[in-house]
């Protein structure tokens, strides 16, 4: 049987090497850090140099055109460690691959750290929360892995209607929100409610009668069972379970006899609804601009959404424009963003992401493990109480307590030895040259009190990533 990357004792596991940093000796690069902070999980030397070389607008376009950014080497490495990444659910069932659950989380971590398609990965993160499905249990793990590949990643930067339709036909979503139990004689309203409240219009424009009618439209949208051979755990429409009568959804009459088209019509209605343009635009604004977007910003993005027929790439482009970023406010890093950002900034090497996965589980933010359909919260108030976890993470990393995770402090310091040089390097590495003066003073005082050995420099880096300022972006 295939062994996971964090596998059995004695297995020789090759490392994920850190990307070679671009050294900028004698070159002052002052990129637009706000854009870099919004488009990455943590800006590196390479990101800053790329923006300096291309210019801000061209950098954004380069990231938006993610298909042109080569990730074949990274994806090849991942596929060699997690061969189920390209498997169908049926193949995973046949192989009874139990490692998919934890492996899926590790793949998300590694992609976020190492992929040069940083903006794409941040959009993927957003949709994974928006169309949240937990991976708990083997059936959900298998189908969720397929959903990640064929729904979220395949349509992340495309048209919203295509993403919504792929999600509705995802076996993972069908199972997770109980639409497999939605039959004409006993309608189940779970998916019908969430496809409006969470996925499209948001609370407001629909009534309880609309929920009942939408549920009727999606009767018979189910999945093949796990013992169905090559079709196992894939979507199917069963006309024998469908309510083929007349329905009225949000004022639109859906004629009798429509079969599977009833559900597609509902998706057309929802995807083109003005409330969906605003609800989805607010989600994009929270991800890339500000934790509490106002009406003016939401209206701006919603106009682009409507004018382009729900073109996600176009809305993200507008969110990253000067016009929209004028509304930007600091956002608090969720544990995933914090941990991945640290790994990127410090060029951490690791044989696999098992240690990060376990630490994120302790921090309450392991990928694909939020149980309810609303996705991991993106509110400062929810995560602000987890400071102790962040301090422990920083200390464990810099004291080399994470097995197999290595930070080469000497390489990061690049020959810096006196206090001013060391703090300058930490400023560049951790804050991109924007270290607050109070943090600088505290680090200088710490280094002045202790002889700056490699261990002391590691501690100083740990203090920097534990600082209050580093928790925001």
Backbone angles phi, psi at 237, to 5 degrees: -105, 125
Count Cβ neighbours within 10 Å for each residue of 288-305 and write b for 16 or more, e otherwise: bbbeebeeebbebbbebb
What is the rounded average pLDDT for all residues in the chain? 93
Q: Which two tokens stand for residue 273?
A: 């609804």
Distance between CA atoms of residues 404 and 446, nearest Å: 28
- pLDDT at res. 32: 86
pLDDT in tens, 350-399: 988 999 999 999 999 999 999 999 999 999 999 998 899 999 999 999 99
- Going from N- to C-terminal start, the domains of the chain cover 44-158+332-395, 168-271, 274-325, 408-471
pLDDT above 90 (res 338)? yes
Q: In 177-257, which residue ranges form alpha helices assigned H by DSSP?
A: 190-197, 208-217
pLDDT in tens, 67-111: 999 999 999 999 999 999 999 999 999 999 999 999 999 999 999
What is the spatial distance between Cα 31 and Cα 60, in angstroms, rounded to a whole number?
12
pLDDT digits (tens, 9 = 90+) for 164-186: 999 999 999 999 999 999 999 99
pLDDT band at 417 (very low <50, low <70, confident <90, very high): confident
Q: How far apart are the first and last CA of the chain?
A: 43
What's the pLDDT at 22? 34
**Where does 244-352 show beta strands of DSSP type E?**
247-249, 252-254
Element (H, E) at 144: helix 138-147
Q: What pLDDT sits at residue 14?
A: 30
Mean per-residue pLDDT, 253-270 = 98
Mean pLDDT, residues 17-44:
63
- Provide the pLDDT confidence category of residue 30 given band limits of 50, 70 and 90: very low
Whole-number Å distance between alpha carbons of 187 and 267: 18
For 193-240, write each residue's pLDDT tens digit: 999 999 999 999 999 999 999 999 999 999 999 999 999 999 999 999
User: Considering the chain, what percentage of its residues have pLDDT values greater than 90?
Assistant: 91
Give the pLDDT of residue 20: 34
**Measured at the alpha carbon of residue 376, what is the angle toward residues 200 and 108, in degrees to the nearest 5?**
100
pLDDT at 237: 98
Torsion sign, CA atoms 84, 85, 89, 90: negative
pLDDT for residue 226: 97
Phi-psi region of 80 (alpha: psi -120 to 50; beta: other; left: phi over 0): alpha
| Cβ atoms 29, 48 nearer than 8 A | yes
Confidence (pLDDT) at 15: 34
List, for residues 452-468, the tens digit of each pLDDT value. 999 999 999 999 999 99
CB-based burial of residue 232 (10 Å sphere; 0-12 exposed, 13-18 middle, 19+ buried)?
buried
Q: How many percent of the chain have pLDDT more than 70? A: 93
With CA atoms as reference, report the closest residue to 345 among 8, 19, 16: 19
Closest CA to 258 of 276, 272, 237, 234: 237
pLDDT at 386: 83
Residue 426, pLDDT above cutoff 50: yes
Rounded Cα–Cα distance for residues 277 and 12 (Å)? 50
- Statement: residue 8 has pLDDT above 70: no
pLDDT value for 18: 35
């Amino acid at each position: 049987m295939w062994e996971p990357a964090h596998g059995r004792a004695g297995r020789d596991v090759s490392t994920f090497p850190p990307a070679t940093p671009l050294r900028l000796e004698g070159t002052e690069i002052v990129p637009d850090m706000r854009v870099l902070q919004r488009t990455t999980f943590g800006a590196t030397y390479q990101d800053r140099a790329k923006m300096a070389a291309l210019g801000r607008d061209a950098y954004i376009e380069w990231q938006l055109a993610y298909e042109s950014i080569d990730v074949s080497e990274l994806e090849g490495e991942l596929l060699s460690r997690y061969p189920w990444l390209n498997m169908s659910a049926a193949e995973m069932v046949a192989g009874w691959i139990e490692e998919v659950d934890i492996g899926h989380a590790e793949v998300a971590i590694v992609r976020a750290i190492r992929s040069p398609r940083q903006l794409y990965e941040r959009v993927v993160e957003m949709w994974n929360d928006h169309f949240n499905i937990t991976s708990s249990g083997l059936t959900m793990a298998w189908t969720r892995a397929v959903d990640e590949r064929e729904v979220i990643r395949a349509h992340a930067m495309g048209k919203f209607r295509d993403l919504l339709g792929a999600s509705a036909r995802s076996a993972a979503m069908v199972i997770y929100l109980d639409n497999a139990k939605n039959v004409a004689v006993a309608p189940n309203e779970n998916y019908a409610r969430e496809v409006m409240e969470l996925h499209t219009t948001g609370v407001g424009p629909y009534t309880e009668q609309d929920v009942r009618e939408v549920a009727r439209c999606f009767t018979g949208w189910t999945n093949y069972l796990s013992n169905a051979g090559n079709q196992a755990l894939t979507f199917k429409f069963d006309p024998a379970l469908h309510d083929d009568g007349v329905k009225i959804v949000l004022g639109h009459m859906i004629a009798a006899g429509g079969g599977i088209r009833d559900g597609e019509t509902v998706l057309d209605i929802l995807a083109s609804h003005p409330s969906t343009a605003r609800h989805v635009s607010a989600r994009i604004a929270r991800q890339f601009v500000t934790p509490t977007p106002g009406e003016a910003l939401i209206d701006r993005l919603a106009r682009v959404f409507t004018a382009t027929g729900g073109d996600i790439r176009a809305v993200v482009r507008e969110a990253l424009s000067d016009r929209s970023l004028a509304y930007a406010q600091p956002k608090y890093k969720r544990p995933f963003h914090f941990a991945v950002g640290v790994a990127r900034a410090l060029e951490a090497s690791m044989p696999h992401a098992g240690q990060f996965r376990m630490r994120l589980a302790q921090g309450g933010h392991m990928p694909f493990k939020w149980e309810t359909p609303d996705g991991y919260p993106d509110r400062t108030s929810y995560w602000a109480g987890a400071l102790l976890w962040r301090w422990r993470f920083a200390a464990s990393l810099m004291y080399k307590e994470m097995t197999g995770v290595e930070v080469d402090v000497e390489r990061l310091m690049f020959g810096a030895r006196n206090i001013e040089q060391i703090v300058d390097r930490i400023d560049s590495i951790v804050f991109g040259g924007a270290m607050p003066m109070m943090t600088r003073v505290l680090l200088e005082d710490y280094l002045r009190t202790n002889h700056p050995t490699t261990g002391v420099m590691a501690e100083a880096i740990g203090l920097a990533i534990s600082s209050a300022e580093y928790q925001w972006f």
